[in-house]
Structures are given as structure tokens and as C-alpha cells.
Amino acid sequence: MKLVLLGAPGAGKGTQASSLAEFLHVPHISTGDIFRKNLRNETPLGMKAKSYMDQGLLVPDELTVDLVMDRLSEEDCQNGYILDGFPRTLAQADALSQKEKLDAAVNIHVPDEVIVERMGGRRVCPSCGESYHVQYNPPKQEGICDKCGAELITRADDVPETVQKRLTVYHDQTAPLIDYYDQKGLLVTVDGTMAPKDVTGAIVKAIQE
């Protein structure tokens, strides 16, 4: 199953991609996680991406598209994948559609006011990328990742001003992809305000219909 997850920052793309990847036995590919890993390792790509990410802006398409296409050509993606955070512009979506035949684009819909509240309580694992929330989705042991045991951190771009900027960028540049995939007959929309496991259930039901 080849899936794209669409949704505003904080809509739950990472949370759902992680559950769906386990359920469908396909890799979870998050461009945000790839950039953050490069940043931690101080690679040339990480250094280029940093200034955009810190401001809540999109990393240029020319840096992003090749990176994802290379990843999708790897062996583990041949039976499917969950793309989380890509595509985010019409140019990225066109580049993807030239190489790949998707099964569905899942739009996780969450109103902006809910997003702002979620971001304040988010904690992430710097090692495996797993997302938690202090109230809505806490780890079993406070401050520690359930999956890999690393110490959880707050993401640098989760400060309120950057969250607002990311929301504006989402509405301007990424939201048009909802119509793009609707016109291709691939769009599935789910209510992302339900509890995480109910959102997963709604996605699984929708993609199996």
C-alpha cells in the first residue's frame, strides 16, 4: 500500500504514520525526521535545511524531491510506504506522480485552534522520531521514548511564533494538494480530532473501502 498523509503541522501525521506502518508492514518515511537527523549529524543537507526549518518555512523543492525519490527506490519501499510530510507543494506532488502510483492520499483534518494546543504539549524522540503529548498521548515512563528508550525533547520549531508561521505556510502551499488529490480520485479525509487510535481505525477503514 502506497500512502501519502496530508495535514497541517500537528495534525497527527507522524503519530498515524507510525501506527499505520506497523499495521501495514511498510516503512514510515518522514521528510521532517530525515531533515532533523541530518541536522543532528551536521551533514551539508542538514545545515542547508536548518535555516528554513527554524523559520517555519519549507525547505526548497530541489533539496527535498531527490532525497525522497532516492529513498523510495530502496528495496524496502517496493511493496509500499507511508509518506509523512511529503509532498508539501504542487511541484513535489507532480514529481511524485511521475514516478509512483499511489493508492490513496489521506487528509487528516484538524482545525487550527486544536493544532496550537497540541504543539505546546508535544514531546518527540530525537532518536527514532516517535511523537508524544504530555496530556493526550503520554509515554509509559515520563520523558522516555516507549519505542527506543531515548530521552524525549521539545522540537525547536514548536515555539508559538514558528507554529503560526508553519500554519500559514501550510494553508498557502500545502492545502492546495487536497484538491489536487481529490481531482485524481485518491483523496480520503478523516477527522483528526478523535483519539489517536480512533483516527487510525478511520484511516484503515477508509483505505480498505
Cell 527554524 identifies what position?
54
Asked if residue 9 binds Mg ion (CB under 5 A), the reply is: no
What is d(CA 10, CA 111) in angstroms, rounded to the nearest whole number? 10
Q: Which of 13, 36, 118, 123 is catalytic?
A: 13
What is d(CA 178, CA 156) in angstroms, rounded to the nearest whole number? 28
Helix (H) or strand (E) holding 122: strand 122-124
Looking at the DSSP bridge assignments, the partners of residue 5 are: 84, 106
Contact footprint for ligand AP5 (CB under 6 A): 7, 9-15, 31-32, 35, 52-53, 56-59, 64, 85-86, 88, 92, 118, 121-122, 131-133, 136-137, 157, 166, 192, 195-196, 199
What is d(CA 68, CA 62) in angstroms, rounded to the nearest whole number? 11
* Nearest approach, Cβ of residue 17 and Mg ion (Å): 8
- 193-200 contacts, C-beta under 8 A, 24 or more apart: 193/110, 193/111, 193/114, 195/136, 196/12, 196/15, 196/16, 196/19, 196/136, 196/137, 197/19, 199/12, 199/15, 199/16, 199/108, 200/16, 200/19, 200/20, 200/23
Q: Which residue is nearest to Mg ion (CB)?
A: 14
Residue type, 180: Y
Q: Is 40 one of the annotated active-site residues of the chain?
A: no
* Nearest approach, Cβ of residue 96 and ligand AP5 (Å): 10
Considering the complex, state which of residue 52 and residue 159 has its C-beta at the smaller distance from ligand AP5: 52
Q: Which of 37, 50, 71, 155 is catalytic?
A: 155
Q: Which of 2, 36, 88, 123 is catalytic?
A: 88
Among Mg ion, ligand AP5, none, what does residue 137 contact (CB within 5–8 Å per kind)? ligand AP5
Q: Is 166 one of the annotated active-site residues of the chain?
A: yes
Q: Is 122 one of the annotated active-site residues of the chain?
A: yes
What is d(CA 177, CA 102) in angstroms, rounded to the nearest whole number? 14
Q: Is 123 one of the annotated active-site residues of the chain?
A: no
Asked if residue 7 binds Mg ion (CB under 5 A), the reply is: no
* Nearest approach, Cβ of residue 34 and ligand AP5 (Å): 8
Q: Phi then psi for 188, rounded to 5 degrees?
A: -130, 130
Considering the complex, state which of residue 52 and residue 182 has its C-beta at the smaller distance from ligand AP5: 52
Q: Which of 14, 56, 87, 192 binds Mg ion (CB under 5 A)?
A: 14
What is d(CA 105, CA 34) in angstroms, rounded to the nearest whole number? 21
Among ligand AP5, Mg ion, none, what does residue 12 contact (CB within 5–8 Å per kind)? ligand AP5
Which residues are known catalytic residues? 13, 88, 122, 155, 166
